Copies of this chain bind each other. A is one copy, B any other.
Amino acid sequence: MARRLVRFYYDIGSPYSYIAAHRIEELAAARGVEVTWRPLLLGGVFRAAGNTMPAAVPARGRYMLTDLQRWASHAHIPFRFSSSFPHNTLLAMRVLTAADADELIPLSLALFRATWADDRDIGDPAVIADVLGDRAEALMGKAREVGTKNRLRATTDAAVAAGAFGAPTFVVGDALYWGNDRLEWALDAARDR
Protein backbone atom coordinates (compact mmCIF):
# COMPACT_ATOMS: atom_id res chain seq x y z
CA MET A 1 0.00 0.00 0.00
CA ALA A 2 1.25 3.47 -0.87
CA ARG A 3 1.74 5.91 1.97
CA ARG A 4 -1.34 7.85 2.99
CA LEU A 5 0.36 11.20 2.64
CA VAL A 6 -0.67 14.66 1.45
CA ARG A 7 1.89 17.36 0.71
CA PHE A 8 0.42 20.74 1.64
CA TYR A 9 2.07 23.65 -0.20
CA TYR A 10 1.22 27.09 1.16
CA ASP A 11 2.27 30.71 1.51
CA ILE A 12 1.31 32.82 4.54
CA GLY A 13 0.18 35.60 2.18
CA SER A 14 -2.50 33.38 0.59
CA PRO A 15 -5.87 33.74 2.36
CA TYR A 16 -7.24 30.46 1.03
CA SER A 17 -4.08 28.78 2.35
CA TYR A 18 -4.97 30.22 5.77
CA ILE A 19 -8.40 28.62 5.66
CA ALA A 20 -6.98 25.30 4.45
CA ALA A 21 -4.29 25.40 7.16
CA HIS A 22 -6.93 25.67 9.85
CA ARG A 23 -8.96 22.78 8.42
CA ILE A 24 -6.37 20.27 7.24
CA GLU A 25 -5.13 18.51 10.38
CA GLU A 26 -8.56 17.60 11.74
CA LEU A 27 -9.84 16.41 8.35
CA ALA A 28 -6.65 14.43 7.73
CA ALA A 29 -6.76 12.77 11.14
CA ALA A 30 -10.36 11.69 10.54
CA ARG A 31 -9.13 9.85 7.42
CA GLY A 32 -5.93 8.41 8.87
CA VAL A 33 -3.93 10.60 6.48
CA GLU A 34 -0.58 12.21 7.24
CA VAL A 35 0.16 15.78 6.12
CA THR A 36 3.56 17.26 5.37
CA TRP A 37 3.52 21.04 5.50
CA ARG A 38 5.59 22.59 2.70
CA PRO A 39 6.08 26.37 2.90
CA LEU A 40 6.77 27.83 -0.55
CA LEU A 41 7.02 31.27 -2.16
CA LEU A 42 3.78 31.91 -4.04
CA GLY A 43 5.33 34.79 -5.97
CA GLY A 44 7.84 32.29 -7.37
CA VAL A 45 5.04 29.91 -8.38
CA PHE A 46 3.15 32.73 -10.13
CA ARG A 47 6.30 33.77 -12.00
CA ALA A 48 7.11 30.22 -13.09
CA ALA A 49 3.55 29.42 -14.14
CA GLY A 50 2.83 32.79 -15.77
CA ASN A 51 -0.13 33.23 -13.45
CA THR A 52 -1.47 36.43 -11.88
CA MET A 53 -3.33 37.08 -8.67
CA PRO A 54 -7.11 36.56 -8.98
CA ALA A 55 -7.49 40.09 -7.60
CA ALA A 56 -5.99 41.43 -10.85
CA VAL A 57 -9.53 41.24 -12.30
CA PRO A 58 -11.54 43.82 -10.28
CA ALA A 59 -14.88 41.95 -10.24
CA ARG A 60 -13.06 38.77 -9.28
CA GLY A 61 -11.14 40.57 -6.54
CA ARG A 62 -14.37 41.92 -5.04
CA TYR A 63 -15.97 38.47 -5.24
CA MET A 64 -12.95 36.88 -3.58
CA LEU A 65 -13.48 39.04 -0.49
CA THR A 66 -17.07 37.85 -0.22
CA ASP A 67 -16.12 34.25 -0.88
CA LEU A 68 -13.41 34.33 1.80
CA GLN A 69 -15.85 35.75 4.34
CA ARG A 70 -18.30 32.97 3.44
CA TRP A 71 -15.63 30.30 3.80
CA ALA A 72 -14.41 31.70 7.13
CA SER A 73 -17.96 31.81 8.43
CA HIS A 74 -18.65 28.29 7.12
CA ALA A 75 -15.50 26.95 8.81
CA HIS A 76 -15.87 29.08 11.97
CA ILE A 77 -12.51 30.78 11.50
CA PRO A 78 -11.80 34.40 12.46
CA PHE A 79 -11.06 36.37 9.31
CA ARG A 80 -10.35 39.95 8.30
CA PHE A 81 -8.95 40.68 4.86
CA SER A 82 -5.42 41.97 5.34
CA SER A 83 -5.06 45.72 4.76
CA SER A 84 -1.41 45.15 3.74
CA PHE A 85 -2.23 42.61 0.97
CA PRO A 86 -0.38 41.72 -1.22
CA HIS A 87 2.51 41.00 1.12
CA ASN A 88 6.19 40.41 0.59
CA THR A 89 6.33 37.01 2.29
CA LEU A 90 9.94 36.17 1.45
CA LEU A 91 11.26 36.49 5.02
CA ALA A 92 8.23 34.76 6.54
CA MET A 93 8.55 31.80 4.19
CA ARG A 94 12.32 31.58 4.77
CA VAL A 95 11.70 31.55 8.53
CA LEU A 96 9.23 28.69 8.15
CA THR A 97 11.65 26.86 5.88
CA ALA A 98 14.22 27.13 8.68
CA ALA A 99 11.80 25.99 11.40
CA ASP A 100 12.27 22.67 13.19
CA ALA A 101 9.79 19.93 12.30
CA ASP A 102 7.95 20.14 15.60
CA GLU A 103 7.44 23.91 15.45
CA LEU A 104 6.50 24.25 11.77
CA ILE A 105 2.75 23.83 12.20
CA PRO A 106 2.27 26.05 15.29
CA LEU A 107 4.48 28.79 13.84
CA SER A 108 2.69 28.61 10.50
CA LEU A 109 -0.69 28.90 12.19
CA ALA A 110 0.56 31.81 14.32
CA LEU A 111 1.81 33.69 11.24
CA PHE A 112 -1.42 32.94 9.35
CA ARG A 113 -3.47 34.23 12.27
CA ALA A 114 -1.41 37.42 12.59
CA THR A 115 -2.00 38.11 8.89
CA TRP A 116 -5.59 37.01 8.31
CA ALA A 117 -7.28 37.43 11.69
CA ASP A 118 -5.30 40.22 13.40
CA ASP A 119 -4.44 42.27 10.28
CA ARG A 120 -0.75 42.55 11.03
CA ASP A 121 1.69 43.10 8.14
CA ILE A 122 3.65 39.89 7.65
CA GLY A 123 5.99 41.76 5.32
CA ASP A 124 7.34 43.65 8.35
CA PRO A 125 10.30 41.85 10.02
CA ALA A 126 9.28 43.33 13.39
CA VAL A 127 5.87 41.66 13.14
CA ILE A 128 7.47 38.33 12.24
CA ALA A 129 9.88 38.63 15.15
CA ASP A 130 7.04 39.41 17.54
CA VAL A 131 5.02 36.38 16.37
CA LEU A 132 8.07 34.10 16.62
CA GLY A 133 8.69 35.21 20.21
CA ASP A 134 11.70 33.47 21.78
CA ARG A 135 12.43 31.67 18.50
CA ALA A 136 12.83 34.94 16.57
CA GLU A 137 16.58 35.41 16.89
CA ALA A 138 17.49 31.84 15.94
CA LEU A 139 15.02 31.50 13.06
CA MET A 140 15.61 34.94 11.56
CA GLY A 141 19.30 34.17 11.65
CA LYS A 142 18.81 30.84 9.89
CA ALA A 143 16.48 32.56 7.39
CA ARG A 144 19.48 34.53 6.10
CA GLU A 145 21.57 31.42 5.43
CA VAL A 146 22.16 30.34 1.84
CA GLY A 147 21.06 26.81 2.66
CA THR A 148 17.65 28.06 3.85
CA LYS A 149 17.18 30.27 0.80
CA ASN A 150 18.02 27.34 -1.46
CA ARG A 151 15.64 25.04 0.35
CA LEU A 152 12.75 27.48 -0.05
CA ARG A 153 13.59 27.77 -3.75
CA ALA A 154 13.73 23.97 -4.05
CA THR A 155 10.31 23.57 -2.40
CA THR A 156 8.82 26.18 -4.73
CA ASP A 157 10.44 24.49 -7.75
CA ALA A 158 9.14 21.08 -6.63
CA ALA A 159 5.58 22.44 -6.42
CA VAL A 160 5.88 23.98 -9.88
CA ALA A 161 7.30 20.72 -11.25
CA ALA A 162 4.28 18.90 -9.78
CA GLY A 163 2.05 21.30 -11.75
CA ALA A 164 1.30 24.01 -9.18
CA PHE A 165 0.17 27.45 -10.36
CA GLY A 166 -1.30 28.80 -7.11
CA ALA A 167 -1.83 28.08 -3.43
CA PRO A 168 -2.89 26.16 -1.49
CA THR A 169 -1.80 23.15 -3.52
CA PHE A 170 -2.09 19.56 -2.33
CA VAL A 171 -0.06 16.74 -3.86
CA VAL A 172 -0.92 13.06 -3.39
CA GLY A 173 1.52 10.83 -5.22
CA ASP A 174 1.49 12.27 -8.75
CA ALA A 175 -1.92 13.90 -8.37
CA LEU A 176 -2.28 17.64 -7.80
CA TYR A 177 -5.27 19.36 -6.18
CA TRP A 178 -5.59 23.13 -6.17
CA GLY A 179 -7.39 25.29 -3.67
CA ASN A 180 -9.02 25.08 -0.29
CA ASP A 181 -12.12 23.77 -2.09
CA ARG A 182 -10.24 20.61 -3.06
CA LEU A 183 -8.84 19.78 0.36
CA GLU A 184 -11.38 17.02 1.01
CA TRP A 185 -10.82 15.41 -2.40
CA ALA A 186 -7.06 15.42 -1.86
CA LEU A 187 -7.42 13.83 1.57
CA ASP A 188 -9.90 11.25 0.23
CA ALA A 189 -7.43 10.36 -2.52
CA ALA A 190 -4.66 9.88 0.04
CA ARG A 191 -6.93 7.73 2.22
CA ASP A 192 -7.93 5.52 -0.73
CA ARG A 193 -4.40 4.83 -1.99
A67 within 8 A of B: yes
Nearest CB of chain B from residue A128's CB, rounded to whole Å: 30
A141 within 8 A of B: no
* Chain B minimum-CB-distance residue to A48: B59
Choose the segment among A3-11, A50-58, A88-96, A150-158 that binds chain B (4+ C-beta atoms closer than 8 Å): A50-58
Nearest CB of chain B from residue A70's CB, rounded to whole Å: 7
* Chain B minimum-CB-distance residue to A52: B57
A49 within 8 A of B: yes
Size range of the chain A interface in the assembly: 20 to 34
How far is it, in angstroms, between the C-alpha of A43 and the C-alpha of B8 when the chains are bound?
35
Nearest CB of chain B from residue A171's CB, rounded to whole Å: 12
A66 within 8 A of B: yes
Nearest CB of chain B from residue A63's CB, rounded to whole Å: 6
Of residues 35 to 84 in A, which have CB atoms within 8 Å of B's CB atoms?
49-51, 57-60, 62-63, 66-67, 70, 74
Q: Tell me the interface secondary structure of chain A in the complex.
A: helix
Q: Known interface pairs A70-B185, A181-B181, A185-B70. Does A57 touch B49 (Cβ–Cβ under 8 Å)?
A: yes
How far is it, in angstroms, between the C-alpha of A160 and the C-alpha of B182 when the chains are bound?
27
A112 within 8 A of B: no
How far is it, in angstroms, between the C-alpha of A160 and the C-alpha of B62 when the chains are bound?
13
Binary per-residue interface labels of chain A (151-193) against chain B in the complex, 1 for a CB within 8 Å, 0 otherwise: 0000000001001111000000001101001100100000000
By a beta-carbon cutoff of 8 Å, the part of chain A in contact with chain B is 49-51, 57-60, 62-63, 66-67, 70, 74, 160, 163-166, 175-176, 178, 181-182, 185
Could you list 22 A-B pairs, sorted by A, with CB under 8 Å?
Answer: A49-B57, A49-B59, A49-B60, A50-B57, A50-B58, A50-B59, A51-B57, A51-B59, A51-B60, A57-B165, A59-B163, A59-B164, A59-B165, A60-B165, A60-B166, A62-B163, A63-B163, A66-B175, A66-B176, A67-B178, A70-B185, A181-B181
